[in-house]
Amino acid sequence: MTATPSHAQNSPAGNAATASANSNPLLASWAGPYGGVPPFDKVQVNQFKPALEAAMAENLREIDAIANNKEAATFENTIVALERAGQRLDETRTVYGIWSGTLSSPEVQAIEREMSPRMAAFSDKINQNEALFKRVEAVYNSPEKQKLTPEQQRLSWLYYNNLVRAGAKLDAKAKTRLSEINQQLAGLFTKFSQNVLADETDSVLVLKTTADLAGLPASLQADAAAAVASRKLTGAGAITNTRSSIEPFLTYSDQRKLREKAWRMYYNRGDNGGAHDNNAIITDILQLRAERAKLLGYKTHAHWRLDNTMAKTPEAAMKLMEQVWTPAVARVKEEVADMQALARKEGAGADFKIEPWDYRYYAEKVRKARYDLDQNEVKQYLQLDKMREGMFWVAGELFNFNFSPITSVPVYHPDVKVWEVKDKTTGQHVGLWYFDPYARPGKRSGAWMNAYRNQERMDGKPVTTIVSNNSNFVKGKEGEPTLISWTDATTLFHEFGHALHGLSSNVTYPSLSGTSVVRDYVEFPSQVLENWLPTPQVLQKFAVHYQTGKPIPQALVDRIEKASTFNEGFATTEFLASALIDMKLHLAGDQKIDADKFERETLAQLGMPREIVMRHRTPQFSHVFSSDGYSAGYYSYLWSVVLAADAYSAFTEAGGPYDKAVGQRLTRNIFSIGNTVDPAQAYRNFRGRDPKIDALMKERGFPMTAKKASAAPAKPVKKATGKKS
């Protein structure tokens, strides 16, 4: 649901924008096969601004028609009408978002800086439309609502609560200030993102001589050589400023000084002073969020954000994090002691101390010494293309999907490939899956899933979904396989879980479709899918050596399993540090915060081990500061992994990971229902009870506390709340 300034439809600018629709391919309905596909082959950057303006103007006219309807408000003429409104804008913003996230250029960034505040104001125009809210409220409170289907009642609730949480009940003065805040935040989010991208794109560690490659396995040396060549630099190799390039270098490089340089380059993104420093932006974002929360009647931004989640309150989220923090930190101390002992054995001086840029390097050495497990040895069996085929096979076993490559649809970059998804039994078309696997300048780092179009059948005929997965693997030489780490393979399955959540959707209304669920539930389907990577069926079929084609030896698989809880102290602590800082920043209310100082002092109070840094330091914490997305919500990954570990136990307690009956329950109660059912109830429908934390603690090798831990969601509050994140 979106909005635009009301004068746009009659103003010269509005008329000009509307006229431009006649020649702008972004404003044409998606054409072609599979119910229409994005017109990636026709896009020009200079079309984005007029397309967005025209689509917003059209959307406003649709909204005004709904709000000013003289007939009494009904589900059909109000809620369903809102579901139909804004399709042209949704499609335009989808393509615009792809360029912003994967093909960013100075021209795209200039449009972002101009349009982000305007689009925020546009959304507020709808959220603050009094006539529209009265109609939605009338449907929500009508006795006739009881005659609606459960899904229709859920959709009515969603629209009502979205509007309330966005300020629909505020007075005129408060609404004006709220819109000002949202516009300022939109501009700051854009600036934050562009600063991080600039540091990622512009910074590179050049390995000048072959000596600088010491310790790097052949595959990483090849990646570094490819990176230096693609950037037309002089040297033996280059390490780009992305996680998929930095972490392997920190794991294997024998050059400690270069490890430190790489570490500082990566972990100081957004924190280097100058034009791309994000610290002042963070201060402003936090102040504005605190003011907005008070306007909306909440104690803090954290209380506002969690009001419509499974956790319900920041206190519940904090309780879960604190339960896991103590054993995680204790494990880190053990890990560091092991690394220090090994370093001394190898000849390090008595005063040698493990630093953050040493952790992965010495952890890998300890892993090899204790478990005879070399991650680089494992990597020889993890070819990106084969792992992708493994994911397809799992999707076939669990969800009855079949993936077939197609070349009949346009893509936005030569690296992007597309697959049609069908039901294996009926051959019925399910959707399309786009895959954009490689890093490149102008593409934001990390891995993520997008839904280009949501599944729905609102008008009686099915509209199938289009989803994508995006990664940042280092592209090797032409004709050679891309080898990925075990961690990267896990992330690949994780993001594919999001895609399967979208592809499995079987609902009526698009706003309730696929991954349109609360923030601390959306990561559950993706987290649970990670469990199928280490299954023997996947490893024996798809983890094959890139040279010999032989499957991964069982002895190596056994060592992987034996070492499965190794380094969990590090992994859990670096994540939880970010989640705790995120929550505490947003529980601080309207305090004026110096981000660097707050991070430093809060971590000290928490007892953060000096050898570890947060997974996402505040100046580059895009989850939290490039949008409201995961703000006061990074804990969601832990909340969801509790659900995932507990859910996977349902398989192990039954016939194993491919148990058909449990798989069908998972599809029916979790993956297919979108947001049509309250998530806590949906989980109970699948598992027969609330989730327990036990499986997570066992999975990570942490002891249970004396008092039985629980991760059951808080009981739903009577006050109606809820908004898609």
DSSP state of 347: T
Cα separation, 703 vs 338, in Å, equals: 19
Please tell me the distance from the alpha carbon of residue 279 to that of residue 629, in angstroms, as a whole number. Answer: 19
Q: Is 699 a catalytic residue?
A: no
Burial level of 212, CB count in 10 A (0-12/13-18/19+)? buried
Looking at this protein, which amino acid is placed at residue 163?
A: L
Taking the alpha carbons at both ends of the chain, their separation in whole angstroms is 13
What's the rounded Cα separation, in Å, for the pair 463 and 511?
13
- Residue where the block lists tokens 């746009």: 8
Tokens describing residue 311? 């956790």
Residue type, 275: A
CA distance 659 to 581: 40
Position of tokens 């009647």? Answer: 297
From the list 53, 495, 568, 611, the catalytic residue is: 495
Closest to 3 measured CA to CA, from 123, 162, 165: 123
d(C-alpha 327, C-alpha 334), whole Å: 11
List the one residue out of 150, 140, 137, 5 whose CA is nearest residue 63: 5
Q: In the 8-state DSSP scheme, what is residue 463?
A: B
CA distance 564 to 236: 35
CA distance 416 to 437: 7
Nearest to 632, CA basis, from 286, 180, 281? 286
Question: Residue 150: is it exposed, middle or buried by C-beta count within 10 angstroms (0-12/13-18/19+)?
Answer: exposed
- Do 131 and 68 contact (CB within 8 A), yes or no? yes
DSSP letter, residue 447: -
Number of neighbouring beta carbons within 10 Å of residue 294: 15
Q: Taking a C-beta distance cutoff of 8 angstroms, is the pair 424, 400 a contact?
A: yes
Q: Inter-axis angle of helices 519-529 and 486-503, to 10 degrees?
A: 120
Residue 506 is classified by DSSP as -
**Residues noted as catalytic:** 495
